[in-house]
Amino acid sequence: MSSEKKEAGGLSTTNALNDSPFMRACRREPVPYTPVWLMRQAGRYMREYREVRARTSFLELCKTPELAAEVTVYAAGKLNVDAAIIFADILLIIEPMGLDLEFARGEGPVIHNPVRGGHDVERLREVEDVGALDYVYEAIRQTRRALPSGLPLIGFCGAPFTLASYIVEGGASKNYVHTKRMMYDDAGAWHAMMSLISRALSRYLNAQIAAGAQAVQLFDSWVGCLSPDDYREYVLPHTRSVIENVTTGTPVIHFGTGTAALLELMREAGGDVIGLDWRVRLDEAWRRLGDVAVMGNFDPIALFASPDHIRRQAQKILTQAGGRPGHIFNLGHGIIPDTPVENVIALVEAVHELSARQVSST
């Protein structure tokens, strides 16, 4: 026992990280229990996060590495999850493109100079040097130093379509009228904008990896508003180019919501792990996807139900995963404010316990 401990302690941090359940699952290797982390695990549902936010605006928090690292590390420890994800926002990258971003209190993001056509695309700045986002890399370095040596840290970005939808709409949207009109009627400008965004994203992800992230995730949160044909024509080549240009050897998680009819196309665009939302059955989705890891897919709203229901629901998902190597447990989308924190903790415990039992019984 003591020699084992010594041996483990003697492993380099790199090896401890590489051998973690999360990294093993990304590579579809067997794990002693199903690794779990939760999108938006550091967020408003958590009292300690709200205390930090009471003193700081959202953008200030993102841009202050000490604070971003603090909330990242705190949430991972409090929940006992198997990966941390750097606290940041998908829209930070649009500032160096020349877009004027503001988070109005309680209103979500506002972009004061949205892009509506070719003329606007011309004024977008190529993000040659992603140094403008040094605060993100510094937060990653500080987080990496503060995290337990075997706990992987995930970097991330918005996927090209989701970012484009904010850039064109000027904020969140219900119907994506401006975005789709530009796609359909000004395809040249659309593709030019998507290419510029995609080049910036690859550089941004690689800088996060260089700073210490073990894996990266693309969030295509709003891509589910598209038809499969539109996805193929207007989105897939760009997402693929981002993923192809990520530093070799770093697992890429490719996540979207409302993607029940897009899964094969997302797979074609790339990623070592495909993120699923709860609106598909995990077993059927994984069968359609074939040889790739999957992440998901607990309904975040089920976290408002009783711990009994949460446990049964976690078991259902683990049963659908069937012990097949390559499952990372997660929600189907981020934790929403007002979610009871004790239920989140109960979910993580249930996943660990039930999946370890599943492994030992097979």
User: Which residue in 38, 35, 13 sits closest to 23, CA to CA?
Assistant: 35
Catalytic residue among 24, 40, 144, 203: 40
- Our answer to whether residue 89 is catalytic in this structure is yes
- Please identify which residue in 16, 336, 341, 359 interacts with a copy of itself, judged by CB under 8 A: 336
Catalytic residue among 53, 232, 240, 311: 53
Euclidean distance between CA atoms 42 and 78, whole angstroms: 10
Q: Which is nearer to a copy of itself, 41 or 339 (CB)?
A: 339
String marking each residue 88-117 x if it binds a copy of itself according to CB under 8 A: ------------------------------
Site for a copy of itself in 260-299 (CB under 8 A): 260-261, 278-281, 284, 299
Euclidean distance between CA atoms 57 and 103, whole angstroms: 9
Q: Which is nearer to a copy of itself, 145 or 312 (CB)?
A: 312
Place of tokens 């992230």: 213
- Our answer to whether residue 27 is catalytic in this structure is no
- The least distance separating a copy of itself from the CB of residue 259, rounded to whole angstroms, comes to 8
Euclidean distance between CA atoms 115 and 102, whole angstroms: 16
- Please identify which residue in 77, 114, 118, 228 interacts with a copy of itself, judged by CB under 8 A: 228
Please list the residues that pair with 255 across neighbouring strands. Answer: 219, 275
Q: Which is nearer to a copy of itself, 95 or 268 (CB)?
A: 268
Euclidean distance between CA atoms 87 and 41, whole angstroms: 9
- Our answer to whether residue 234 is catalytic in this structure is no
Spatial contact of 344 and 49, defined as CB atoms under 8 Å apart: no
- Our answer to whether residue 308 is catalytic in this structure is no
Site for a copy of itself in 119-178 (CB under 8 A): 175-177
- Our answer to whether residue 50 is catalytic in this structure is no
Euclidean distance between CA atoms 192 and 190, whole angstroms: 5
What b-and-e string marks burial along 116-151, b requiring 16 or more CB atoms within 10 Å of the CB? Answer: bbeebbeebeebeebeebeebbbbbebbbebbebbb
* 302 to 146, 150, 179, 297, 309: CA distances (angstroms): 32, 30, 32, 11, 8
String marking each residue 300-319 x if it binds a copy of itself according to CB under 8 A: xxx-xxx--x------x---
Active site residues: 40, 44, 53, 89, 166
Residues lying near a copy of itself in the complex (CB under 8 A) are found at 175-177, 180-181, 184-185, 224-230, 258, 260-261, 278-281, 284, 299-302, 304-306, 309, 316, 336, 338
